[in-house]
Amino acid sequence: MRGRSASARLFQIELPALLIVLFALAPYVWMILTSIKPQAELAEWPVRYWPRAATLDHYRELLSRTSFAGNLLNSLIIACGAALVGLAVSIPAGYAFSRFRFRGRRPLMTGFLVINMFPIVLLIIPLFVLMRRFGLIDTYLGVVIGHSTFSIPFAIWMLTSYFSTIPKDLDEAATIDGASRYEAIRHVILPLVAPGVVTAGIYIFITSWNEYLFAMMLSGQNVRTVTVALQLFIGEFTIQWGLLTAGGVLIAIPVTILFLFVQRRLVGGLTAGAVKS
């Protein structure tokens, strides 16, 4: 029976899971291999999957002869700014939706959820008109606001669920001890919801880092992000595969490192907040 159970687990769970993981990782492995191939091997036929002699020439050219390093810095500034703005809005909103019962609470929560159901292309036109009217096109603030607008609704839902796991008795106990509501939130509630705050911040950061449409419409040469910069390597008749894949690898590295450092807190925050609000 144990042999049957082990073999059944192998063929029904482990092998299918391994195939799914390999299928998901294959494009990334292909991108890394292409980025270290010499230029002459990129156009060879039949295709060589493994380079004869690995080289970092594409990375050197990308960082020295293009503005990609500056674009990386732009993306970092915008992603960090979007995370800060998103948390500054999501934390008080999540607390309010969790602790107070007011007229219109449920429609507002539903509206936040419905916003994420619409394609972002429907939001970009009115947002572009507003940004142009206020002179925020091709500025850090304009792109940060655009990215925050798209990610805040889900962050509010996440933090509302997480705040709901904290008993209201803690707020009342802190108030009885003489603390104001702000002091109770800062010294009592926020330390308890730190995993949820980290989860929401990472979600906003990754969403902003990988976002393309808002960055393309709201930015220009001054604050161009890496996702928009990659598109410049795709021409009408030629594609610079070496630079394109090297840029893709560099874009993936910061997010991968961030996830490896905070994966436990991220998973814990997502699961702990999975309650009915």
pLDDT at 198 over 80: yes
Q: What pLDDT band is residue 267 in, cutting at 50, 70 and 90?
A: low
Q: Do the domain assignments include residue 114? A: yes
b/e code 112-127 from CB counts within 10 Å (16+ = b)? beeeeeeebeebbeeb
Q: Do the domain assignments include residue 124? A: yes
Q: Do the domain assignments include residue 26? A: no
From the list 199, 166, 189, the residue with the least C-alpha distance to 265 is 199
Tokens of 120: 């972002």
Q: What pLDDT band is residue 159 in, cutting at 50, 70 and 90?
A: confident
Q: What pLDDT band is residue 4 in, cutting at 50, 70 and 90?
A: low
Max CA pair span of the chain: 76
Tell me, what's the pLDDT at 114? 78
Do residues 18 and 228 lie in contact, with contact meaning Cβ atoms separated by under 8 Å? no
Tell me, what's the pLDDT at 88? 93
From the list 89, 71, 206, 203, the residue with the least C-alpha distance to 140 is 71
Q: What is the pLDDT of residues 79-126, one digit of tens each?
A: 999 999 999 999 998 888 888 887 878 888 887 777 777 777 777 888
pLDDT at 3 over 70: no
Tell me, what's the pLDDT at 265? 61
Q: What pLDDT band is residue 192 in, cutting at 50, 70 and 90?
A: confident
**Type of residue at 91:** I
Which residues are registered as beta bridge partners of 239? Answer: 234
What is the rounded CA–CA span in Å between residue 90 and residue 202?
A: 13
Q: Do the domain assignments include residue 46? A: no
CATH code, 238: 1.10.3720.10
What are the strands, taking DSSP E only, across the chain? none
Number of H helices, E strands in the chain: 14, 0
Which residues are registered as beta bridge partners of 234? Answer: 239
Q: Do the domain assignments include residue 251? A: yes
Q: Do the domain assignments include residue 243? A: yes
Q: What pLDDT band is residue 271 in, cutting at 50, 70 and 90?
A: low
Which helix (H) or strand (E) is 209 found in, with range?
helix 194-210
Question: For 234, phi and psi rounded to 5 degrees?
Answer: -105, 105
Q: Do the domain assignments include residue 55? A: no
What is the rounded CA–CA span in Å between residue 61 and residue 71?
A: 15
Least confident of 42-56, 58-72, 244-258: 42-56
From the list 277, 94, 110, 105, the residue with the least C-alpha distance to 189 is 94
pLDDT at 77 over 90: yes
Tell me, what's the pLDDT at 14? 81
Q: What's the total number of domains in the chain?
A: 1
Give residue 185's domain range: 65-272
Tell me, what's the pLDDT at 144? 92
pLDDT at 21 over 80: yes
Do residues 61 and 35 lie in contact, with contact meaning Cβ atoms separated by under 8 Å? no
Q: Do the domain assignments include residue 246? A: yes
